[in-house]
Amino acid sequence: MHGKTVVITGATSGIGQVAAETLARQGARVVFVARDAVKARAMLDRLIRANPDAAHDWVQADLSTIAAMKAAGEALLAKAARVDVLINNAGAIFDRREVTADGLEKTFAVNHMAYFVVTDVLRPALGPGARVVSTASTAHTFGQLDFDDLRSAKGYSAFRAYGLSKLCNILWTSELARRLEGAGVTANCIHPGGVNTGFGDNAKGWLGALFGLGKRFMLTPEQGADTLIYLADSAEVAGRTGGYWVKRAPVQPSAAARDPVAAARLWDVSARLAGVPA
């Protein structure tokens, strides 16, 4: 990773923090996105300790609105004219339905649209050999893609909304890989496993209690980050693209996640929502 630049969202805690620090120790320069300035400065200190020779940097953004996603992408592009590895890792689950300023259900906005928009803005910086690695989940298996209800207005469930967003991650990854054919850029996504991190800490009521109970049985962030780091760095996966990976191995996702027609349509719908060319 010496001399390479890694851009990562969701880097101030959990598997993103582990991945960022590990790749920095391996010689990478890391540029990350954070909402909280205090957490960002602490993360920057960790990166400097891991690799003091690289000009690590960060961008402040709340990736819940299209305007903020685009601004974050542009700010990242200004700080990283060449991106060797882009890791889309920011994500959340919400115990009640929230609607963003763009009229989007917040889980869909943060977990899918932010991946789509930030990557779209950074595409000019992704040259031959670059890798896009995104955090999906086995939760995609209980997601249902209803193009007439991407806003979850017909009935909201935190797990269904989260599952939908993770299904979108896999479909988007496969379509991104198809569109990057011939460019020498790969795109893959992962299931990190159930990891004991700050994920779900914002949830209240029964959902918050469920996450609290489940954490004692979960993987460590180091275990959860392993496949993310592997796809970002390993020579063994050079040139491999369009995959969904679990424990360093490509795994077949659900039938819904393997639908190329749905993947292409999701791309077009996402582009329209983002106000960018399809």
Of 115, 156, 162, 230, the catalytic one is 162
Q: What is the dihedral of CA 74, 78, 80, 83, to 10 degrees?
A: 40
Residue with tokens 């590990």: 22
Q: Determine which helix (DSSP H) or strand (DSSP E) holds 222, and give its type and residue range.
A: helix 221-233
Q: Shortest CA distance to 228 belongs to which of 119, 107, 88, 28?
A: 88
- Taking a C-beta distance cutoff of 8 angstroms, is the pair 170, 141 a contact? no
CA-to-CA distance for 173 and 187, rounded, in angstroms?
6
List CB contacts of 51: < 8 A, sequence separation 6 or more: 24, 25, 27, 28, 29, 30
| Sheet strand arrangement including 85-88 | 57-60, 29-34, 5-9, 85-88, 131-135, 186-191, 244-246, 249-250
Q: Is 162 a catalytic residue?
A: yes
Picking from 140, 89, 93, 161, the residue whose alpha carbon sits closest to that of residue 119 is 89
* Catalytic (active-site) positions: 162
